[in-house]
Structure 1
Amino acid sequence: MKSKNVFIHRLNSLLKAFTLLWLWLLLSGSNSNAQNFLPICEGIEHAEVIRKINGVDVRLNLLRLDPQKIRLDVIHAMDTVNGTEALSSIAKRHGAIAAINAGFFRFDRSIFAGTPSGILMIDGKLFSMSHSGRSAVAIINDSRKTDIAFAHVDTEVSLKISNKKIPISGMNRERKIDDIVLFTPEFGRSTLTDPNGWEFIFQSNDKKPSSGRLVEIRKNKGSSIIPQYGFVLSVSDSKLKILPHILKKLGVIASWQFTIKTIESSESKFFQMAEDITNGVPQLIRNGEIQITWEQEKTNQTFVETRHPRTAIARLKDGQILLITADGRSEDSGGIALKDLAELLLQLGAFEAINLDGGGSTTMFLNGKIVNKPSDKEGERRISDAILVFPRANCKR
C-alpha cells in the first residue's frame, strides 16, 4: 500500500511538472513578447503574454493557483449589495495579494447601479437570486485547501408566514411594476424604492436576520429603512392581492428561506455547502470538453462571437485553479471571442470553466497594482464584485 501511495504521489508530481512545461511552451511559442510563469508567493504564479489568435494580438494575464496554498473569497463593492468600487480598492481594503473582477451587474447611473445580475452569495448569506439558470462558480475554503465547482444555478426564495409560503420574485434589487422583492441588511441602509407600492418591515429580537416580527406597514412611501436584524418585503400594488390576510396584522412573525438548485446534479451538494457563489455567463468547458451554453443561458450570439475583453475562471485537470484576463478594444490587444477563449483554456488544461463579466470590467490586480490594461474609457472601471486571492502562508515578496 505504501509503495502504491508513493507511486501515485510521483505520478501527480510528474503531471504537474508536465502541465507547467506545456503552459510554458504554449504561452511562449515563437512570440518574443512572451514570458514564463513567475512565482509570486508559494502556490501563486503569474504570466503575461501576447498571443496571436486568429491573426489578432491578444494580451493575456494568467494567475495559476495551487488550491492547497491559497484561499479565495468573493467580495462585493463597499461590502454591500448595492454600489460599485474599483477592483484595486476592493483588493487593497481586504489585503488580497491578487484579484479579478467577477460577476455581471447592473451597469448604469441609477441608484441601483452595481446590483448583481445573477446569483451572489458571500459567507453563506444570499445577496441576490440567480437569473435564467445561468452559470456560477462556488467556493469552499477549509483548513487544508480551497475547492471550486461550476454549475448552472436556479434559486428559490420564499417568505413563510403561519403555514403559507409566498414566492419571492427578486432580492436586493429595484422593485418593478409586478414584483415582490426581499431586501436584507446587506443591501444597504434603505430599500431605495419608489413610493408606488407597499413595504412590510420585519424586525428580529434575537438577531436572526432571516426571521422577524412585523413592526410597520408602509403604503406608497418607498425607501424604507432596513432593520439591522430583519428584512423588508417590498410589494407592488398588483401583487398585494396574493398576500395572505394575516400579513396585514402587526406583530405577526415571518421568516424567509432560500434553496439553491443546480442543473448538474453532481454539483448540488457542493453548491448547498458553498461559502461564496458568484455568477457568470456562459459556461465554456464542462468535463474537459468545450460546451458553450449561451443559448441555454439566454444570452445572444453577438456577445459570444464578438471580440471583447474577457475574464474567466477555470479548474484545471490537475486540480489547479486558473484566473485569466484577455485585454481588448485597443491597438495592441484585439480581444477574444468566447469560442477562442474556450479553446485556449482547453489547451491550458482546463477541465471546467466559465466566462465572467468582461468588456470594460475586465481587470486583474496583483501585488498592489492593476497588471492588465482595462478598456473602460475612465481607466479602471468600478465593478460589483470580485474574486480575491490570499496566500495561506506568509508571502515573501
Structure 2
Amino acid sequence: MIRLTALLAAWSLVGIAQAQVWEKMLAPGLTYRMEADLLTPRLIHAFRLSLASPEVRALPELATGKVFRTNATDSRETLSAMTSRTGAIGGVNADFFPFNGDPLGLMIRNGELLSFASKRAVFWWNDSESGVGTCTTEAILYLPEARSLTLDGWNEECGANAVTLNTAVAGVSKAAAPCVQATYRIVDGSLSVGGAARLELESVALDNPSVPVPEGRVVIAARGNKVSALGPLFPGNAASLTIRGTGLDWPRVKHTLGGGPFLVRNGRIGIDASQQGFNAAFSANRHPRTAVGITSEGDVWVVTVDGRQSISAGATLEETARLMLRLGCVDAVNLDGGGSTTFNLFGITLNRPSDGRERPVANALLVFSDGLRAANGGGSAYSIPVPSAVKVGDVIQLKVVDKWGGAVPNLQVVWAGGGAGWIDQGGLFRASAAGKGYLAAWIDGIIVRTSFDIAAK
C-alpha cells in the first residue's frame, strides 16, 4: 500500500505561480513526485530513492538485454517493455544512442563493462552511494610473440581499420567484409574496469559479417589494417585482456549510465554543454528532458520534464539545472531527452512522450522493489466514473470506486492520463482538446483503465 506524504503543496515560496506538487511514498526509500506548473506550463515526474534502503534498488538495463538483436527497432526497446521484461516497478530512459541498441556513453552493470566511455558525463552508483564524473576507458589485447592491440570499440560494430571486442551481451559481433572474427573462450578473470582476463582462441571466421557470441566467450573483430595486426590465429592460442580506466574511483563503481552535459556540480549550476559537444539550440531551447541528480544526503533524484506540447513546454538546460537544485541536488547530469523522455511506474507511462507514443531506446535506469506489485490484472474490481458529457476546458475531479461503489482514497491511487487531456495526482482531469481522453489508475497492484469522448466547446 502506498502512503501520501504531501498533497497539493503550493510552490509560492519558490516563486512558481499556479503550481502544485504531489509526493506519494511507494516504499521506504522510494517516493514518486509529480509537479504541475500551469503557468509555464510544465509537467514533471520524478523518483526520489535511497540507495541504502533494503526495500529498493536501481539497476541499469540494456534494451532487449542485447546490444544487437534482429527486430523491428534494431535492438532498441520501449521503457514499458523493459520494465515488463525485467519485473521493475518503474524507470526512466537513460543514455543517448545512434538509433540502434548501442548506448553512446559508458555503461557498466554489476561491475561488467558493457559500453566504452565517451567524453561526456557519467552517473555511477553502488548499493549505498553514487556520484558523477567524466572518465576514460581502455582495453588492451595481448597476443603471442609479445604483440598487443588497443581495442577501438567494445560491444559495437567494427569500423574501418578498427578492432573491437564483443561479449555475450552484444549477442553477435558485427563487421563488414573483408574482416576477421576470432572467438575466444574466457579462461578466467573479469570484464570489469581495472580487471583482466585470460583467453583461449577457439575458432576463426573470415569475412563473416555477423558472428554469434555465446556465454563465456568474446569475439574480436578486425577490419582493414588491423587484420594483419592480429597476426596468425590458431585455435588454442593464448591471449589476455586488460581493462583500464581513469577519472572515477573504480572500486566503488558497480553501475554506470552515460549522459551529458553536467547540470549541477558541487551545489551550483555547472552546465558544460559546449565542452561535451552539445550545440546552443540543445541548451537554450525548451525540450523534454530526463535527468539524474544526487542530494547532499546521498539520495538520488530521477526526473523527467515533458515538452513540445501545449500542456508542457519543456525546459532549457538551465531550467532543468534549477529544477535539480530546487530538489536539493548537489550534483546532476542531463540524460537523453526529446522524444526519448519517458517515465514509467507500475507498468504505466505516466508522462506524455513528445512523439505521441513511447520511443524505443537503448538503455534505461530501472527501479525495483520486492515489496511492491506492478500490474496483475483484475481491473474489474474497480472503475473510474466519468461524466457523460465532457467538453474542452472542463476540469473534473475524478475518483476510483470499488465494486461496491466505495471511493478509494486518492492516497492509494497513482493516476495517468493521455489523449485529449491530462490528470494530476490529485485526480483532477483537464480536458485540453477535442477527441478521446484516456485514463489509467494503479491501485495496489491492479490497473483500471477507461476512455471517453471530449467534445469541442
CA distance in 2, matches of 1:305, 1:135: 19
- 1:384 is aligned to 2:362: yes
Q: Equivalent of 2:49, from 39, 55, 65?
A: 65
CA deviation map 1:3-25 (0-9, x unaligned): xxxxxxxxxxxxxxxxx99x964
Deviation at 1:221, TM superposition (A): 2.5
The residue number in structure 2 matching 1:151 is: 133
Deviation at 1:127, TM superposition (A): 0.9
Tell me the secondary structure at the aligned position of residue 343 of structure 1. Answer: helix
The residue number in structure 2 matching 1:248 is: 233
The residue number in structure 2 matching 1:184 is: 167
Q: Equivalent of 2:61, from 75, 85, 101?
A: 75
Deviation at 1:237, TM superposition (A): 1.5
Residues 107 and 257 of structure 2 are in contact (CA less than 8 Å); yes or no, is this contact kept in structure 1? Answer: yes
- 1:334 is aligned to 2:313: yes
CA deviation map 1:219-250 (0-9, x unaligned): 2232123232221111112223434x3x4333
User: TM-score normalised to the size of structure 1?
Assistant: 0.82
- 1:218 is aligned to 2:201: no
- 1:315 is aligned to 2:315: no
Q: Look up the equivalent residue of 2:285 and give its one-letter code.
A: T
CA distance in 2, matches of 1:67, 1:207: 28
Residues 135 and 282 of structure 1 are in contact (CA less than 8 Å); yes or no, is this contact kept in structure 2? Answer: yes
The residue number in structure 2 matching 1:306 is: 285
Q: Look up the equivalent residue of 1:66 and give its one-letter code.
A: S
Greater RCO (Cα-Cα under 8 Å, separation 6 or more)? 1
Residues 160 and 254 of structure 1 are in contact (CA less than 8 Å); yes or no, is this contact kept in structure 2? Answer: yes
Deviation at 1:95, TM superposition (A): 2.0
Deviation at 1:139, TM superposition (A): 1.5
CA deviation map 1:111-134 (0-9, x unaligned): xx1211111111111111011x21
CA distance in 2, matches of 1:147, 1:386: 19
Alignment of 1:31-110 (within 5 A): 31-32=17-18, 34-51=20-37, 56-69=40-53, 70-82=56-68, 83-107=75-99
Pick closer, same or farther for the CA change 1:300–1:340 going to 2, 3 Å.
same
Q: Look up the equivalent residue of 2:280 and give its one-letter code.
A: Q
Tell me the secondary structure at the aligned position of residue 353 of structure 2. Answer: coil
CA distance in 2, matches of 1:208, 1:381: 34
CA distance in 1, matches of 2:294, 2:228: 47
Residues 10 and 20 of structure 2 are in contact (CA less than 8 Å); yes or no, is this contact kept in structure 1? Answer: no
The residue number in structure 2 matching 1:288 is: 267
| Structure index of larger Rg | 2
More strand by percentage: 2
More helix by percentage: 1
The residue number in structure 2 matching 1:265 is: none
Tell me the secondary structure at the aligned position of residue 321 of structure 2. Answer: helix
> Percent of aligned positions with the same letter in both sequences?
28
The residue number in structure 1 matching 2:418 is: none
Residues 202 and 211 of structure 1 are in contact (CA less than 8 Å); yes or no, is this contact kept in structure 2? Answer: no
Alignment: residue pair count: 355
Tell me the secondary structure at the aligned position of residue 227 of structure 1. Answer: coil
CA distance in 2, matches of 1:51, 1:346: 17
Alignment of 1:123-202 (within 5 A): 123-131=110-118, 133-141=119-127, 146-162=128-144, 163-188=146-171, 190-202=172-184
Q: Look up the equivalent residue of 1:91 and give its one-letter code.
A: T
CA deviation map 1:39-72 (0-9, x unaligned): 22222222222226xx731111122223332211
Deviation at 1:216, TM superposition (A): 2.3
The root-mean-square deviation of aligned C-alpha atoms, in Å, is 2.5
Pick closer, same or farther for the CA change 1:33–1:192 going to 2, 3 Å.
same
CA deviation map 1:200-231 (0-9, x unaligned): 22124669774322222222232123232221
Pick closer, same or farther for the CA change 1:367–1:204 going to 2, 3 Å.
closer
User: TM-score normalised to the size of structure 2?
Assistant: 0.72
Tell me the secondary structure at the aligned position of residue 302 of structure 1. Answer: helix
Deviation at 1:138, TM superposition (A): 0.9
